[in-house]
Amino acid sequence: MPGVRNEKHRAALTPGSQPLLCAPMPEIAYVNGEFRPLAEATINVEDRGFQFADAVYEVLRTYDGELFAVDEHLDRLDRSLAAIDLQTGLSRVQLTAVLQEIVRRGAFPETMVYMQISRGVAPRHRGPPAQATPTVVITVRPLPPAPAQVSDVGATVITVADERWARCDIKCVGLLANVMAYQAAKVAGADDAVFVDADGSVAESTAGNIFIVRQGQILTPPKGPRILSGVTRDKMLAAACGAGIVCREEPFSQAELLAADEVFLTSTTVQVVPVIRVNGQSIGSGKCGPVTERVYAEFYRRLPRRERVRA
């Protein structure tokens, strides 16, 4: 089975093996060795990712057309795959080549890449099949370029009880609790929701990591099974340290969240989002704070040079 996957993969990347597109082709999908228009891409209805959420995923982005932090994202993918005992049959070199090729074919100024790997197709039963070929799906969509400054508008969030499973560090596709929390936020007139554990400690938002600023210092929940530690989270912490800001990875409560001088969220696609209200209560001055601006400025300074010049 892995041999078949590798042969199809090599064929997909061999010049002349498939007709190359004469013009940019938005919304492309790569499915098990084949590139095709997203509207034509399909998977089997008995794919375990569809029926059991027996799958993991990653989201990457480009800066100036180049994939960013590929090794860090693939390291996290490897950790997620190992946690559910799943092997893709593709080497890191092969997977990287597919990512680069689909970005090239999409030809967007900036690109969001979504990659999902399931355990594959098998008769529906909760027990994993003894043998199955994993399903590898990758899609691309356009993404706005990185702004030179963080928006002063900011986001509003609500807090919700964390009812997710106990292994949030695995980037799995079972995101129903996140969907429900996000919908609750929209119903409440907010932009997003932040999960709060039973002990009152803050975990993360529905799609990003959370930071608070208190007396000029940054706090963010520590890595562990209660959060999905983001690649952008780590980049922002490095940027903050580079800017001379003290950072601490330690738990903080909902009360501390509400009393914070500044709050911001991070993720691959949006990078940094200042939070200006939590549960209807203003945070700090009610707009993006100076520490958040300083951290983002350092993060932006560290981006690939061509992106900074072009923006």
**By three-state DSSP, how is residue 263 classified?**
strand
Of 171, 186, 235, 287, catalytic: 171
The DSSP bridge partners found for residue 159 are 194
CA-to-CA dists, residue 233 to 51, 122, 215, 270, angstroms: 31, 36, 20, 12
Residues 175-198 as b or e (16 or more Cβ within 10 Å = b): bebbeebbeebeeeebbbbbbbbe
Q: How far apart are CA 150 and CA 147, in angstroms?
A: 7
For the question of residue 235 being annotated catalytic, the response is no
**By three-state DSSP, how is residue 144 classified?**
coil
Order of all β-strands in the sheet with 55-63 = 34-37, 28-31, 135-142, 111-118, 55-63, 66-67
Q: Which residues are catalytic?
A: 171
